[in-house]
């Protein structure tokens, strides 16, 4: 059986390397590297948006949630589904703006300070997201090769592969790797879910094996806890730089808008299947190794609950999915270092060749930082919520205001980004929450950080001069 897993993983690795090598030969300019030459058609956009969004956060953190709480775990991906309904209207505006990074947008609509603070928030959040992709991928390799690969060694191996392939061709490599991965994952999950459902004994078997709360709307969650899962995902979706960079890479405004329709359908279907597979697996394996590490329920179920070939394919799909999301979230902050720091402040006249060299170096440096965090991250779920919160509180309110508000000012945006970042970073510092009232101390950072950020955005905007017509015109306001 182990030979089958080796063959499946080897095919996936060779395929992804082939895509990266092919796209590398086509990269000649900064625009080619950062936004794929603004050439992505609708079909490629749909698959790269879907694949970059669903990664270790869904396959490990979401699966752990489903193992503990049953179908109530759908509160977590539901935040993304709600966000996508709004994104349908944002996508063509984002493509019309057509820059390289989210801080480009922040400076155009607000000011240079907003750009710098936004860059810092993105670096903190996205390197954190990349880190738990590395950790999740390492766990997959350990499950496939338990005697040969420890979780730590697997983490190093995944990190090395992602850093190399991402550095090679940038957005072009990332997007076209996503096409292959997205297609594979969707087909395998569609086939695996009904097989596991039957093996678990259908609905009768599931109800016999699992507690009744696993089938309730809230399950074991309180309404507030459900919102703490939903809100960070919703807000990350609305302000997600990875998404905006894909829209900046689209062939046209129409391609950007139409791609969101396919993304909505694909996300609802695939994330529901992922939760279902985790729930079916939890019915089959309530005790033993996976009970001690419930975030491994999907790869564990693939290894032990499916026929050999299907199990190998599902494990390979999980492996590929982690690779894809890690590549997206590693590449995105690297573009910030290049476009928002190097080109903006250090070498404005740098040649395309020099920009490409520094871009690849930035990918390597940020990849090493993410690897360091992965090695010391205590929990994938906790790391996911922290990364989502810092982004959601600091950036999403000001990004939405750029497209939908005429009154929010530059200094309002600066105050929101700064306060949202600071509250999130301080929230888990030992001794800080203990000084707060119990009703706040028991909560995750998302709502306190978001409330402070939005309050700063509104109050400071009311106290400072309105934005100019030139600032508003670029965003359809």
145-153, long-range: CB within 8 Å, 24+ apart, which pairs?
Answer: 145/2, 145/5, 152/375
Q: What is the number of residues in the chain? A: 477
Closest CA to 176 of 27, 353, 367: 27
Could you count the other beta carbons within 10 Å of the beta carbon of residue 225? 17
Helix (H) or strand (E) holding 276: helix 253-284
Closest CA to 255 of 470, 47, 5: 47
Could you count the other beta carbons within 10 Å of the beta carbon of residue 157? 15
Both tokens of residue 458? Answer: 């509104």
Q: What is the phi/psi pair of residue 250, to 5°?
A: -70, 155
Q: Residue 72 and residue 214: Cα distance in Å, rounded?
A: 7
What fold, for 2-380? Hydantoin permease (1.10.4160)
Q: Residue 411 and residue 121: Cα distance in Å, rounded?
A: 17
DSSP secondary structure code for residue 360 in this structure: H
Q: Residue 127 and residue 326: Cα distance in Å, rounded?
A: 9
Both tokens of residue 75? Answer: 């509160």
40-44, long-range: CB within 8 Å, 24+ apart, which pairs?
Answer: 40/175, 40/246, 40/249, 40/250, 40/251, 40/255, 41/251, 41/255, 42/255, 42/258, 42/259, 42/262, 43/179, 43/262, 44/175, 44/176, 44/178, 44/179
Helix (H, G, I), strand (E, B) or coil at 350: coil
Give yes or no for a contact between 401 and 431, defined as CB atoms under 8 angstroms apart.
no
DSSP secondary structure code for residue 353 in this structure: H
pLDDT tens per residue across all 477 residues of the chain: 567 878 888 888 887 777 767 766 666 665 555 555 566 677 777 777 777 777 767 888 888 889 989 999 999 889 888 888 877 777 666 656 555 567 877 888 888 898 888 888 888 888 888 888 898 888 888 877 888 889 899 999 999 988 988 777 555 556 666 677 777 778 888 899 999 999 999 999 999 999 999 999 898 888 888 888 888 888 878 777 777 767 766 677 777 777 888 888 888 998 999 999 999 999 999 877 777 878 888 888 988 888 888 888 888 888 887 887 788 788 878 888 887 788 888 888 888 788 878 888 988 999 999 999 888 766 666 766 677 788 888 888 998 888 788 889 999 999 999 999 888 888 877 676 677 777 776 777 788 888 999 999 999 999 998 887 776 776 655
Name every residue whose Cβ is closer than 8 Å to that of residue 308 and which is 6 or more positions away in sequence.
1, 4
- pLDDT value of residue 355: 80
Q: What is the phi/psi pair of residue 412, to 5°?
A: -65, -45
Helix (H, G, I), strand (E, B) or coil at 430: coil
């Amino acid at each position: 059986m182990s030979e089958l897993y080796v063959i499946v993983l080897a095919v996936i690795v060779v395929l992804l390397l082939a895509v990266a090598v092919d796209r590398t030969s086509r990269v000649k300019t900064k625009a080619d590297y950062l936004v794929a030459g603004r050439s992505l058609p609708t079909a490629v956009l749909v698959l790269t948006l879907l694949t970059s969004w669903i990664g270790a956060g869904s396959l490990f953190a979401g699966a752990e949630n489903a193992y503990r709480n049953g179908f109530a775990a759908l509160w977590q991906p539901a935040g993304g589904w709600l966000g996508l309904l709004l994104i349908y209207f944002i996508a063509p505006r984002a493509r019309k703006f057509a820059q390289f990074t989210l801080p480009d947008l922040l400076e155009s609509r607000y000011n240079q300070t907003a750009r710098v603070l936004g860059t810092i928030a993105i670096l903190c959040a996205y390197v954190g997201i990349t880190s738990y992709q590395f950790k999740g991928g390492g766990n997959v390799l350990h499950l496939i090769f338990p005697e040969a690969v420890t979780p730590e060694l697997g983490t190093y191996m995944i990190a090395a592969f992602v850093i190399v392939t991402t550095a090679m061709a940038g957005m072009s490599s990332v997007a076209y790797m996503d096409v292959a991965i997205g297609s594979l994952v969707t087909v395998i999950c569609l086939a695996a879910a009904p097989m596991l459902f039957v093996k678990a004994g259908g609905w009768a078997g599931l109800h016999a094996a699992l507690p009744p709360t696993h089938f309730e709307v809230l399950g074991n969650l309180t309404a507030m806890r459900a919102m703490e899962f939903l809100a960070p995902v919703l807000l990350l979706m609305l302000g997600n730089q990875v998404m905006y960079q894909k829209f900046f890479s689209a062939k046209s405004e129409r391609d950007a808008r139409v791609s969101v329709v396919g993304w909505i359908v694909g996300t609802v279907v695939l994330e529901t299947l992922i939760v279902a597979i985790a729930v079916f697996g939890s019915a089959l394996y309530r005790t033993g190794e996976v009970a001690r590490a419930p975030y491994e329920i999907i790869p564990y179920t693939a290894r032990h609950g499916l026929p050999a070939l299907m199990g190998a394919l599902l494990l390979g799909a999980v492996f590929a999915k982690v690779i894809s999301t890690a590549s997206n979230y590693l590449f995105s902050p690297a573009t910030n270092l290049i476009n928002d720091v190097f080109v903006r402040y250090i070498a404005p006249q740098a040649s395309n060749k020099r920009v490409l060299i520094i871009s690849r170096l930035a990918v390597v440096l940020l990849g090493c930082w993410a690897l360091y965090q992965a090695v010391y991250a205590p929990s994938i779920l906790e790391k996911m919520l922290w990364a989502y919160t810092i982004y959601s509180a600091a950036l999403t309110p000001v990004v939405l205001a750029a497209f939908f508000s005429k009154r929010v000012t530059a200094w309002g945006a600066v105050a929101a980004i700064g306060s949202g970042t600071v509250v999130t970073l301080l929230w888990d510092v030992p001794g800080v929450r203990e000084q707060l009232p119990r009703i706040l101390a028991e909560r995750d950072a998302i709502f306190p950080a978001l409330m402070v950020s939005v309050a700063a955005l509104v109050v400071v905007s009311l106290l400072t001069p309105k934005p100019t017509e030139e600032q508003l015109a670029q965003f359809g306001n």
